[in-house]
Structure 1
Amino acid sequence: MKPNRRRFLKATSTGAVASALLRDASQPAAAAESKSPAAASRKSNLIVQENAREGSLDWQLTRVRLDSTAGFRSSLIEGYCSKQSVKAGESIDIFVSTKPVAKFEIEIFRTGYYGGRGARLMTKVGPFQGKTQETPAMGEKQLHECRWEACTSVKIPEDWVSGVYLGRLTTLPDEGPYWQSYVVFIVKDDRPAEILLQCSDNTWQAYNRWPDKYSIYTHPKGNQGPWADVSYDRPYAKYAQIYENPQSIGSGEWLCFEFPMAYWLEQEGYDVTYCSNVDLRTPDRALKCKAFLSVGHDEYWHIDQYNSVVALRDAGVNVMFFSGNSVCWVTPLRPGFDGRENRIMFRGGPYGGEHKWAVERAEQHGPFPERGPDEGYLMGSRNIRPVNGGGDWICEKPDHWIFEGTGMKKGEAIPGLIGWEYHGDPPDIKGLEVVAAGTAWQGGTNPSNWTATIYPGPKGNFVFNASTIFWCQGLSSPPGHMLPWSHWSRPHGPDARVQRITKNLMDRAVG
């Protein structure tokens, strides 16, 4: 099969992050592009058609200001949405507060590739007369649940393609500077597709500190117990870990850890669709796809999600964890104050069954009301202690098909790709292979052994675990994204080897 020259030339000519331009001179030229039949024969699908539309030059946040230098909230303008995900034809309410009172507008963008621009303007609504909405009093278990008045309701047009959408909120002052932040929501669909990318929004909300210090991790009793409730009915504050990223205000962790995967998939023309964590409480939607992806920091899973993905694997869907610290905490969900489902969550208990890690967590930080099964028998690796650190991703089995075309040798490292959390301690699963392995460090201390694995499913499918939150950093660096760092270690950005390994996995999965 000849290399896909047309796609390669198109990517480089549009100024995209072309692997051939970014790879180290020591890396083989073959790593720059895939030779798979699936890639060469890919037709013009819905995602290709969407990305042929003109992207936006101005969609990022330009002027942002926090309430305090060391704070997380931006009360000049902030907002949230009534649902995590919504289908075409359905409506979603947007709630906004401005302090001081100011007029504002909302521009809604779909994030994607779009010739390297990263997003497309879908609609603009407003202007609206803003109002300062009440910061809710702290409820039981430190719950902060906003009961704001909606500024608008948006009915999703039938031609809006599934994806992650950002609503950019911008004040419109009569004089003086304007201020901005985001709201975020997912447009989902039910169509058969090659790939389903699950957003990790349960984890976004678990770490959300809005209005100041009220995440799952900030209870006076400690940061690991079942003591704190958090609500989706509140804005996303600035992301609170790893790095200083004002671009993240209102967007959860999407731009930090998951967007590089979506950008790369859409650049490559894969037929990808998107969903929220809560959309996997049943397997129905994902059973219409050939591959299911867990991406980035996917720590908090409802037990229904776990059962759904087990069902996907057993039905023959390919399952890939391009993530770390995943399937770590059982996350019960309950309705909000007005009966809307899946709006309040907490840390219900550890996954791990009777594995030592989970037992220790329960003994030290319980009592937890729920205990999940051993996640290793789904993912092929487990959450381990210490779970965080940094290291290099090191090839263990260069002859495995996932390394085809990379030229990688046993012991060859991709610098900084492990972090800031990862997996290890693979269980005894028939056919499981450790394809990469090494040591992560907390600075220069507390070494921890991580493992990247793959094992066969029951119907010719497979389950892959890259074993790092940072995997997607090696795929692309789209507009609006910045590289993280952790424990005096950092990923280097797009790498032709990461791109080729991912392409090998995707092409095998979608056939």
Structure 2
Amino acid sequence: MKKQKGKNLINRRDALKMGLGTGIYSLSPANTDVTNPIILENKKKGSTDWQLTRVRPDPDHHRTSLVEGYCSKQSVKAGGQLDIMVSANPAQSYKIDIYRTGYYGGTGARLVQTIGPLIGKSQVTPQKGDKNIHECEWEVSASLKIPGDWLSGVYLGKLKTLPENAGEPYWESYILFIVTDQRPVDILFQCSDNTWQAYNRWPNNYSIYTHPKGSQGPWAAVSFDRPYGRQSQYNDIVNDPLSFGSGEFISFERPFSYFLEQHGYDVAYCSNSDMVTPGRALKAKAFLSVGHDEYWDIRQFRSVETLKEKGVNLLFFSGNSVCWVSPFTTSKSGNPLGRIFRAGPYGAQNNYAVSREKDHGPFPERGPDEGLLMGVRNIQPINGGGDWIITKPQHWIFKNTGIKKGDYIPGLIGWEYHGDAADIAGLEVVAEGIAWMGGKVPSKWQSVIYPGPKGNFIFNASTIFWAQGLSSPPGHTLPWSHYNRPHGPDPRVQQITHNLLRKAIL
């Protein structure tokens, strides 16, 4: 440990090692002078004003047409340009407050720029097109050149109408975009925005799941050129109108990013679309899949295979991941990554994939066996809920948790998960149990870890709800499904996560 001007300075590796054998592991701006960009960013003043206050959904609850918008692409680098399309109906003035989400002393976000006031107009709701797609062709409302000093992160733009007369109500919703970068980093957090869009029912119950021919076939497509409506296809999982416009980020991924930034992990962010090539992720020590990560272009799959072979640690803190091959195609606006559709299941010749194709095909493409990448597979039934039950408490991932065999974390499994562990040398099942679909139909899930080819490892938590055990940020609501719910932050989930991340980045 070096000393300078009477002040202790420690490097990141020493700070991480300080957590070994000392009970609940901790690394946070409050107790270390580690100077990585995330710690420096989170020392800046935050604000809780990023949260929506007044939202009025339309009668069908799939949109909020009083003010809504979308961005020209899913992610953008610092120095790049992003177009923002906004509709206000009735036409009225509005502003856009841009916030970077993080920890910021517990406030959850920092205001980085305000755009406006702007003169709003009502923009045309699109008619359905090929594959039942509903794709906007709205005029650009504002163009944002991303400042060079904006750190990678998930950014929310809060749209707020500006009434002409004092005392009249204002209305709000979000736009969302990701700022990505190319710097070497410990952790790359992949947002599951393909899945957010697949479940997005804007403008009036139109998603990949609502085609008249059925919910599981290749006949429906969706476009990123439209606002995010209500959070989820399934209103009985999270019924939160104060997340309009944010996809599934606030509900299923936000508690993880908040946790990472609270504890000073050196993290950068990317969209699913950024993973069509492996280049950015090869500059990370650990790749994270978080939340509900169901839809992957085959190029994403091959990229993550490359990460494994090159020695990057893969951590799937997610459920129902790598389930459907979802090729990117070009939107009307010219975004080559602007549309997705369901081309077929992952699973090679496994029963799950074969039965999906038999029941819902024919599909144009069958994906490889996701179990050989993730360690476990998508199974039937895949919907349900249960407790996360420990089967191998002596494993290093449980160090300093006090966990014993048979101990469980209530409600952490749901609403979708993985099972059917692959036959991979060195694979260990660290937790397993039964999830119940509707409280009646059983399904066996498994959480696994196995060694990669270059001293790296692959872990799969096997649940969408893992992040719920890490933190409870401002603006976040606990989900529930199938008569089952997680309980929120749990010291054991936090410690397991610290153990895995520490191992991955040292």
Smaller-chain TM-score bracket: over 0.9
Contact 2:424 2:450 in 1 (8 A): yes
Match of 1:422 in 2: 417
Query: Is 1:294 aligned to 2:289, yes or no?
Result: yes
Matches within 5 A, 1:347-386: 347-386=342-381
Q: For residues 444 and 189 of structure 1, what CA distance do their matches in structure 2 show?
A: 44
Match of 1:328 in 2: 323
Query: Is 1:224 aligned to 2:197, yes or no?
Result: no
Match of 1:186 in 2: 178
Match of 1:213 in 2: 205
Query: Is 1:103 aligned to 2:103, yes or no?
Result: no
- In the TM superposition, what is the alpha-carbon distance from 1:33 to its structure 2 partner? 2.7
Match of 2:120 in 1: 130
Runs of 4+ in 1 over 2 A off after TM superposition: 29-36, 39-43
Matches within 5 A, 1:353-502: 353-502=348-497
AA partner of residue 55 (structure 2): V
AA partner of residue 217 (structure 1): Y
- In the TM superposition, what is the alpha-carbon distance from 1:30 to its structure 2 partner? 6.2
Matches within 5 A, 1:35-46: 43-46=34-37
Taking a change above 3 Å as real, the CA distance of residues 34 and 50 of structure 1, as seen in their structure-2 partners, is closer
AA partner of residue 48 (structure 2): L
Match of 2:109 in 1: 119
Could you tell me which of 298, 303, 327 is aligned with 1:303? 298
Match of 2:40 in 1: 49
Contact 2:137 2:333 in 1 (8 A): no
AA partner of residue 337 (structure 1): K
Matches within 5 A, 1:138-217: 138-175=128-165, 176-217=168-209
Q: For residues 182 and 34 of structure 1, what CA distance do their matches in structure 2 show?
A: 33
Instruction: Say what the alpha-carbon RMSD is for the aligned residues.
Output: 1.6
Q: For residues 56 and 465 of structure 1, what CA distance do their matches in structure 2 show?
A: 34
Query: Is 1:509 aligned to 2:500, yes or no?
Result: no
- In the TM superposition, what is the alpha-carbon distance from 1:75 to its structure 2 partner? 0.2
Runs of at least 5 residues in structure 1 that lack an aligned partner in the other structure: 2-28
Contact 1:422 1:467 in 2 (8 A): yes
Q: Deviations over 1:192-244 (max 9, x none)?
A: 00000000000000000000111000001110001111110000001132121
**Equivalent residues, number:** 481
AA partner of residue 480 (structure 1): G
Contact 1:31 1:496 in 2 (8 A): no
Structure 2 residue matching 1:150: 3-state secondary structure: coil
Taking a change above 3 Å as real, the CA distance of residues 249 and 383 of structure 1, as seen in their structure-2 partners, is same
Taking a change above 3 Å as real, the CA distance of residues 322 and 136 of structure 1, as seen in their structure-2 partners, is same
Q: For residues 156 and 143 of structure 1, what CA distance do their matches in structure 2 show?
A: 30
Structure 2 residue matching 1:167: 3-state secondary structure: strand
- In the TM superposition, what is the alpha-carbon distance from 1:35 to its structure 2 partner? 9.3
- In the TM superposition, what is the alpha-carbon distance from 1:41 to its structure 2 partner? 8.2
Q: Deviations over 1:18-41 (max 9, x none)?
A: xxxxxxxxxxx96533599xx998
Contact 2:26 2:263 in 1 (8 A): no
Contact 1:30 1:406 in 2 (8 A): no
Taking a change above 3 Å as real, the CA distance of residues 31 and 328 of structure 1, as seen in their structure-2 partners, is farther
Taking a change above 3 Å as real, the CA distance of residues 494 and 139 of structure 1, as seen in their structure-2 partners, is same
Query: Is 1:234 aligned to 2:220, yes or no?
Result: no
AA partner of residue 335 (structure 1): T
Q: For residues 117 and 425 of structure 2, what CA distance do their matches in structure 1 show?
A: 60
TM-score, normalization by structure 2: 0.93
TM-score, normalization by structure 1: 0.92
AA partner of residue 57 (structure 1): T
Q: Percent identity?
A: 64
- In the TM superposition, what is the alpha-carbon distance from 1:442 to its structure 2 partner? 1.5
Contact 1:34 1:504 in 2 (8 A): no
Structure 1 residue matching 2:197: 3-state secondary structure: helix
AA partner of residue 162 (structure 1): S
Structure 2 residue matching 1:74: 3-state secondary structure: coil
Q: Deviations over 1:369-418 (max 9, x none)?
A: 11100100000000000001000000110000000000000000000000
Taking a change above 3 Å as real, the CA distance of residues 109 and 35 of structure 1, as seen in their structure-2 partners, is closer
Q: For residues 378 and 57 of structure 2, what CA distance do their matches in structure 1 show?
A: 34
Q: For residues 118 and 60 of structure 1, what CA distance do their matches in structure 2 show?
A: 9
Q: For residues 266 and 472 of structure 1, what CA distance do their matches in structure 2 show?
A: 14
Taking a change above 3 Å as real, the CA distance of residues 286 and 379 of structure 1, as seen in their structure-2 partners, is same
- In the TM superposition, what is the alpha-carbon distance from 1:443 to its structure 2 partner? 3.1
Q: Deviations over 1:112-165 (max 9, x none)?
A: 000100000000010011000000111111111101011110000011000000
Q: For residues 261 and 338 of structure 1, what CA distance do their matches in structure 2 show?
A: 33
